[in-house]
Structure 1
Amino acid sequence: MNLTTTYLGLKLASPLIPGASPLVDNMDSVRRLQDAGAPAFVMHSLFAEQLEGNQVAFDRHIVRWQDNFAEATTMFPDTGDYVLGPDEYLDRLAVIKRITGLPVIASLNGTQLGSWLAYAQLLEEAGADAIELNTYFLATQRGVTGAELEQRVVEIARSVRGAVKIPVAVKLSPFYTSVAHLAGWLEREKLDGLVLFNRFFQPEIDVESLEVRPHLDLSTPEDLGLRLRWLALLRDQVKLSLACSGGVHRPEDVVKALLTGADAVQVVAALLKRGPGELAVLRAGLLRWMEDHEYESVSQIRGALSLRNCPDPEAYERGNYLRSVQLWRD
């Protein structure tokens, strides 16, 4: 069975990639992930507040809210245990490259144009094979339009794209007025890929202390459906590399992501819950499915149930709303 795939121009031995998480901060975990078959690594984000030396903003947005990482969960260690400073981040990137010999995808997280964008060049110089640009923000002010949000994402992405020669992927949220339009715009700006999707923390109301607290649980398989729909919708509309991120816990989840059009499948929650060796379990499950269904390669699976290839395209476009309601009655 041939599991090789191409993601962001990188030829990988498998589509299963450990997604952005603090696992890369522990070299023992890195080695265990490599032993489990990791074909590449995605590092967790460096934040604009870190890079611009704005400690007040850093404390407000990161240290105070332990779960305010797009990749973070309530199961992560305390922030001080795994947040690498800019210099340490570059060193860790170089060490992972040297020890594993595998591609390393660095990650930047910021919501406004600023001096932090210049750090993309340092990541490239340190040996990063690609950059994942994490645009993690919500529009909460009534005066901000959907078009302005898209414009901001594109401007940030354009700046990073122009600063480096290595591939750049944009990690999006699903909450844009037109995800497909934004994807096409990013493609025209020569971005290389999309990661679908970010997961936002949600507020928790403490009814005893009357406080609002940030809260984010690990993803569940139920989170996968939204990713599958947009992978299927975008696969035939853009030529960008597509990665699924969020909701992948079982081998069948990996298969679903590939069938709808993913070039790569990022896994985080399953690894945090069950350890780095879970990557090998997912890989073995994918191989079993391929053998049972007589597929010889990942390339044969990819996009087999995209919008264009789906026998019932309305299942993606409108979700067969009336039929779904009827299923509840049945």
Structure 2
Amino acid sequence: MKLQTNYMGLELRSPIVVSACTLSEKTENIVQMEDFGAGAVVLFSLFEEQIRKEEASYRGVMSETSYAFPEALDYFPDLDEFDIGTDEYLENIRKAKERVDIPVIASLNGITNEGWIDYSKQMEQAGADGIEVNIFFIPADISMPSAEVEQRYLSIIESIKQTVKIPIAVKLNPYFSAMGNMSLQMKNAGADALVLFNRFYQPDFDINELLIKTDLHYSESSEIRLPLLWIALLYGKVNLSLAATTGVQGSVEIIKYILAGADVAMTASSLYKNGIPYLKTMNRELEDWMYKMKFESIDSFKGIMSQQHIADPTAYERANYIKILERVK
């Protein structure tokens, strides 16, 4: 079976992509991911605010020390030589590109326009094959209108696209009021792919200590329905690559996402649970299913369950909700 697919202009040998996670902090892990069949790897995210925080901390130490002990300045490197996070990340890109042939996609989570532009440029120069723009922005200001929120995304995409030549994927959230139209606007702004969906931080409460809990759980297969819906609705209507990145625990979710129209399915939680070699298992199960269903390639079944290809397109809309209610009477 032919598992090759094209994701935002990059030729992949498999539609299974390792999503941004801490596993990719080690080059040896990335080599294993290639060995066990990953089509590409999205590196762990570079967070601009962490870099700014380290830089501010360094400046604070320098300022306080210089007043008390001027001679101590000899023991501190200049700020330009101080590793505030970017050097290590860029070196990780370079090392990975030296060791593997599969695409290595950088992941950037910025907070300032300068940061988006500068770090994107550095990632491209380090050899990244693409950049996943992780716009983790929660509009908590209730006075901020939706148009301003949308423009924030579009401005970021435009700024990065004018800076780099490598493809850009936008990891977006499911909370836009008009997802279809927003997808078109992102395409016009320069996006090459959409990654559905970002799992926003959602707090929980400790009712005994009266504290906000900051734990994070792995995604579950039951979470695929929302991205499955929007991939099936967007397929064939927006000229963008589509990636699914929620709830992929095995080959079943991968198959469903491709049937809906995804070019790739991204996973990290399944590797945390089962180990990096599980990539080989998912690829084999995907091939077995394709053989059973007589599909010779990924393209031969991609999108056949999307809205534009099924016999009853209303199955994705309100009419299907009514049918569900009628069945439970």
Map Cα deviations across residues 220-242 of structure 1 (whole Å, 9 max, x no partner): 00110111101011112101011
1:203 has 2:203 as partner:
yes
Q: How many residues align?
A: 303
Map Cα deviations across residues 133-183 of structure 1 (whole Å, 9 max, x no partner): 001111122111211111000001111111000001110000111111111
- 2:187 maps to a residue whose letter is E
In structure 1, the partner of 2:104 is 104
Deviation, structure 1 residue 51: 4.4
In structure 2, the partner of 1:127 is 127
Q: What CA distance in whole angstroms lies between the structure 2 residues aligned with 1:208 and 1:55?
A: 37
Alignment of 1:29-178 (within 5 A): 29-52=29-52, 85-178=85-178
In structure 1, the partner of 2:267 is 267
Q: What CA distance in whole angstroms lies between the structure 1 residues aligned with 2:213 and 2:314?
A: 39
TM-score where L is the length of structure 2? 0.88
Map Cα deviations across residues 54-75 of structure 1 (whole Å, 9 max, x no partner): 6569xxxxxxxxxxxxxxxxxx
Task: State the secondary structure of the residue aligned to 2:311.
Answer: coil
- Asked if structure 2 preserves the Cα contact closer than 8 Å seen for 1:201 and 1:215, the reply is no
Map Cα deviations across residues 197-246 of structure 1 (whole Å, 9 max, x no partner): 10012211111111112232110001101111010111121010110101
1:10 has 2:10 as partner:
yes
Task: State the secondary structure of the residue aligned to 1:202.
Answer: coil
Deviation, structure 1 residue 92: 0.6
Task: Pick closer, same or farther for the CA change 1:48–1:318 going to 2, 3 Å.
Answer: farther
In structure 2, the partner of 1:307 is 307
- Asked if structure 1 preserves the Cα contact closer than 8 Å seen for 2:157 and 2:190, the reply is no
- Asked if structure 2 preserves the Cα contact closer than 8 Å seen for 1:108 and 1:133, the reply is yes
In structure 1, the partner of 2:229 is 229
- Asked if structure 1 preserves the Cα contact closer than 8 Å seen for 2:49 and 2:111, the reply is no
Deviation, structure 1 residue 328: 4.0
Q: What CA distance in whole angstroms lies between the structure 1 residues aligned with 2:111 and 2:324?
A: 37
Q: What CA distance in whole angstroms lies between the structure 2 residues aligned with 1:278 and 1:327?
A: 39
In structure 1, the partner of 2:280 is 280
Deviation, structure 1 residue 125: 0.6
In structure 2, the partner of 1:22 is 22
Task: State the secondary structure of the residue aligned to 1:320.
Answer: helix
Q: What CA distance in whole angstroms lies between the structure 1 residues aligned with 2:8 and 2:52?
A: 28
- Asked if structure 1 preserves the Cα contact closer than 8 Å seen for 2:17 and 2:265, the reply is yes
- 2:206 maps to a residue whose letter is D
RMSD: 1.7
Further displaced range: 217-226 or 134-143: 134-143
- Asked if structure 1 preserves the Cα contact closer than 8 Å seen for 2:12 and 2:102, the reply is no
Further displaced range: 116-125 or 292-301: 116-125
- Asked if structure 2 preserves the Cα contact closer than 8 Å seen for 1:206 and 1:212, the reply is yes
Deviation, structure 1 residue 320: 1.3
Deviation, structure 1 residue 127: 0.3
Q: What CA distance in whole angstroms lies between the structure 2 residues aligned with 1:147 and 1:27?
A: 41
In structure 2, the partner of 1:67 is none
Deviation, structure 1 residue 318: 2.7
Q: What CA distance in whole angstroms lies between the structure 2 residues aligned with 1:184 and 1:256?
A: 24
In structure 2, the partner of 1:184 is 184
Map Cα deviations across residues 292-320 of structure 1 (whole Å, 9 max, x no partner): 10000001111111110022222223371
